[in-house]
Amino acid sequence: MDNVIEVNNLVKNFDVSKGFFSRNKTIVKAVDGISFSIPKGESLGLVGQSGCGKTTTARALCLLDPKTSGDVKFYNPEADEMQNLDNLNDDQVKQFRRNTQMIFQDPYESLNPRWTIKDIILEPLNIHNIGSLENRTEAVVEILKTVGLTPPENYLPRYPHELSGGQRQRVSIARSLIMNPKFVICDEPTSMLDVSIRISIMDLMLDLAKDLQVSYLYITHDLAVARYMCNRIAVMFNGKIVEIAKTEDLLSNPIHPYTKRLISSIPVPDPKYTREKYEINFDELDEIISNNTENLPMVDVGNEHFVATHDVKDLLI
Amino acid sequence: MSKDILVVDNLNMHYETLEGKVMAVNNVTFSVKEGESFGLVGESGCGKSSVASTLLQLQSDNAVISSGSIKLDEKELVGMTESELRKVRWNDISIVFQGAMNAWNPVIKIGEQIREAIREHYPSNSKKENTEKISELFKIVGLEDSIMDRYPHELSGGMKQRAVIALALSCDPKIVIADEPTTALDVVIQDQILKEIKKVQELLGLSLIYISHDIAVIAEMTDNMAVMYAGSIVEKGPTASIFSNPRHAYTRLLLESTPSVVGEKKKLRALDGEPPSLINGLDACAFSPRCPDPSDDCKNGNLEMKLIEIEDGHWADQCCVNCG
Ligand SMILES: Nc1ncnc2c1ncn2[C@@H]1O[C@H](COP(=O)(O)OP(=O)(O)OP(=O)(O)O)[C@@H](O)[C@H]1O
Ligand SMILES: Nc1ncnc2c1ncn2[C@@H]1O[C@H](COP(=O)(O)OP(=O)(O)O)[C@@H](O)[C@H]1O
Ligand code: SF4
Ligand SMILES: [Mg+2]
Ligand SMILES: [Mg+2]
């Protein structure tokens, strides 16, 4: 299968030792040896509770922060081949940055408040020196239409603070899509938005994925949102992926206790429905998963459904 | 039948601003019984927090209550003097403010801050008595006693929010308002806090007003609910009945735009456009610009907005009921 990204044993540690000369190094293993790949045109959800390492993963994959170790290969459409992020020359780094974009949680923080919408969306074209000035402006107008900010003339001269949260998020989507990327990493792109606006942004992203053949790594702590957006879901706990499967399979047949706990914690919009209570002891779980010095193998339970364990029987706690 | 503890009748409140009057609470009428859990749902800016602060008479300085009544245990709160109100607040009615978990004083230990609140209302209590009281409350909300000696920054978001709930319970109120108490929290922590609130409510026989923009949380937490749009209640009634038979177009859209992890995967419906500005009020149905199927009457503003009872205790805007 052709993939847009292949991640092998990605590790990202933070040194949080107090004091410059401290003897004992304290390391936070924010991402602790995760592996996954995303086929072209498909989207993978990365879910898990706060602090489990989702954003750290995203930042390492985008080269915003250096990874500690592991292999990341991405599909470079300009060379039509998989390339290892460690061995890119300067041109290839530029190609990587063109073809891999990121959308952040807070559209306000990620947009320069002193720039107009036009300049914000133009920036990537300017940096990569794509097209003539006239072509660039045309491209900005087109992309504003694509993300539903019409008529574009109304938005071009405005500043981010003059837009609503939903409109700002449309601007960040426009900015990331203007480069025609094949892979977009989205970190909670709708969690700051009201429910009603959330759906139109999610629908927009789904339409764009289909029309432009974009793949997403879609980060969220809300499994219901991941279900709406993704073909497959990877569940992360304490820096590790504990289960990965096709979306409906994961939801109807979760195997890992943490996945079960996560599913059972999502409120259901139906007063007649009583959620199954699934309690687990997080410390115990932590011990099983994190204190394994070797990474647990991912066991295939069929239907491309993988669980991190030596033996599925170990998980029946 | 248990009796009404809170009766809100035709409440109108606006904010005076340079741009004009922001009509945040318009003709709001509802009541809450002893032991009942009542939900208030609607999108950001629709007036939920404004209702909440008005119920405690803690609205901001530029707020004006132009008419209406709030009766708590048959006592009228609108127009009460500050010293009378002080006896009612926290003792009879208390609130978990939106974002309260980030409002702890950073330089005072959590236990001391709660003790201070109790001291104000029970000046004759000894320090030991108050500490025992806090310990009891902490047990209820799932915190260990040692948390009393910690500073706010030493606690996780979930722990800070539990402590806020303990604070709200500290003067034995009859009714507690919880304004988006889990909105900033992670799903797993949210789940734990929701369970805690339910447990506390049942254990103490409290009435609860639960405010959220998340219809799924309202479905799980409440017996009765009201849907707010642009400062008005557009539909209210038993939660089960509103979910099974939503009558207002806005309620329907809210229900159809919420993803779920159970059941068939559904195409969700987007709600385009934005809520109206509340400045200087509205004539026609406030939802008409975003409504998928407005009738001519709606668009012309021929029908005034008024709730009518469509089945037992289930009320909706007459205009919408006649349209759909
Ligand atoms: N710059 C940093 N320095 C030190 N530790 C960090 C840094 N960034 C993240 N961490 C730690 O790494 C872990 C993972 O954090 P990360 O931000 O990736 O979580 P997340 O899954 O995105 O959480 P959330 O859902 O809250 O956004 C946490 O323990 C966090 O405290
Ligand atoms: N102190 C204030 N002065 C002026 N307008 C305010 C004030 N507080 C809230 N508002 C406005 O009142 C409306 C309702 O706000 P709020 O009650 O906070 O809504 P919600 O809690 O449903 O998000 C909004 O239009 C908001 O901007
Ligand atoms: S009253 Fe009319 S315009 Fe308003 S929500 Fe109902 S159907 Fe739509
Ligand atoms: Mg994050
Ligand atoms: Mg509010």
8 Å CB contact of B43 and A262:
no
Nearest CA to ligand 3 atom 6: B320
- Burial of B75-91, coded b for 16+ CB within 10 Å and e otherwise, reads eebbebeeeeeeebbbe
Q: What is the pLDDT of residue A294?
A: 67
Q: What is the pLDDT of residue A311?
A: 83
8 Å CB contact of B270 and A262:
no
CATH number 3.40.50.2300 is the correct assignment for the domain at A3-315: no
Interior CA angle at B77 toward B96 and B70, to 5°? 80
**CA–CA distance, A304 with A249 (Å, rounded to integer):** 9
* Preceding amide of A151 cis, omega within 30: yes
**CA–CA distance, B239 with B216 (Å, rounded to integer):** 11
Q: Please give the number of the atom of ligand 1 that sits closest to the Cα of A16.
A: 4
Interior CA angle at B43 toward B155 and B76, to 5°? 85
Nearest CA to ligand 1 atom 13: A30
Q: What is this model's ipTM? A: 0.89
Q: What percent of chain A has pLDDT over 90?
A: 66
Residue A304 to residues A47, A227, A247, Cα–Cα distance (Å): 18, 17, 11
Count of other CB atoms within 10 angstroms of residue A119: 15
pLDDT of residue A108 exceeding 80, the answer is no
Most trustworthy range by pLDDT among A17-21, A284-288, B36-40, B159-163: B36-40
8 Å CB contact of A195 and B215:
yes
Show me where the domains of chain A are located: 3-315
Q: What does DSSP assign to residue B185?
A: S
Tell the burial category of A91 from Cβ atoms under 10 Å away from its Cβ (0-12, 13-18, 19+).
exposed
Q: What is the pLDDT of residue A75?
A: 95
Task: List all residues 6 or more positions away from B10 whose beta carbon is below 8 Å from its beta carbon.
Answer: B27, B28, B29, B67, B68, B69
Per-residue pLDDT of chain B (324 residues; tens, 9 = 90+): 689 999 999 999 999 999 899 999 999 999 999 999 999 999 988 999 999 999 999 999 999 999 999 999 999 999 999 999 998 998 999 999 988 888 999 999 999 999 999 998 888 999 999 999 999 999 988 899 999 999 999 998 889 999 999 999 999 999 999 999 998 788 888 998 999 899 999 999 999 999 999 999 999 999 999 999 999 999 999 999 999 999 999 999 999 999 999 999 989 998 888 788 888 777 778 898 888 888 877 777 777 788 999 999 999 998 887 765
**CA–CA distance, B100 with B109 (Å, rounded to integer):** 16
Q: Which of A195, A224, A265 sits opposite B260 (nearest CB)?
A: A224
**CA–CA distance, A103 with A90 (Å, rounded to integer):** 24
Judging contacts by C-beta atoms under 8 Å, the chain B residues touching residue A203 are 268, 270
pLDDT of residue A137 exceeding 80, the answer is yes
Q: Confidence class of residue A293 from pLDDT cuts 50, 70 and 90? A: low
8 Å CB contact of B188 and A164:
no
Q: What is the pLDDT of residue B65?
A: 97
Decide if A199 touches B, using CB distance below 8 A. Answer: yes
- HEC letters along B245-292: CCCCHHHHHHHHCCCCCCCCCCCCCCCCCCCCCCECCCCCCCCHHHCC
Q: What is the pLDDT of residue A1?
A: 64
For chains A and B, CB pairs below 8 A equal 110
